Amino acid sequence: MGRFILTEEDKKEVMNNYFGEFNQKFYDFLKSNIEVESHNTEHYPRPFVLLYIDGKSKILNDSKKYLVSKIVSVFSDDFPNVPESSLRLTAKKFIDELKKEYYG
C-alpha cells in the first residue's frame, strides 16, 4: 500500500479549518444544548456514551471529524457572526473534554 502525501495546498486547507479562536459562548451553548448520556455495560470496560445532537443520537467514539462537522452544521446558524474555524475549534475542544471526562 502506498503512502498518502498531502500537498502544501491540502495542508493549508486542513489548518484553515481549525485556525481560529476558542469561543466561550459557543462552548457554553454546546454544554447546555447537547445532552450526554452514559451507559455502563458488563461486556465493555469503558462506558457507552451518546450525544444527542438535533434530536439524534451520536456515539462519542465516532470519528471526531464527523462529530465536529455535525455539531457545526447543526448549530452554526445560531452563531452567524462567529467564523466557522472558531466554531470547529470550539466543537473539537468540547468533544475532547467529553472524552477526557468519560474515558480518562
pLDDT of res. 8: 82
pLDDT above 80 for 3:
no
User: pTM of this prediction?
Assistant: 0.79
C-alpha cell at position 20: 481560529
Express each pLDDT in 14-61 by its tens digit.
666 666 788 999 999 999 999 999 988 888 888 889 999 999 999 998
Question: What's the chain's average pLDDT?
Answer: 88
How distant, in Å, are the alpha carbons of 12, 33, 74, 84, 99 from that of 89?
Answer: 16, 17, 15, 9, 15
pLDDT above 60 for 88:
yes
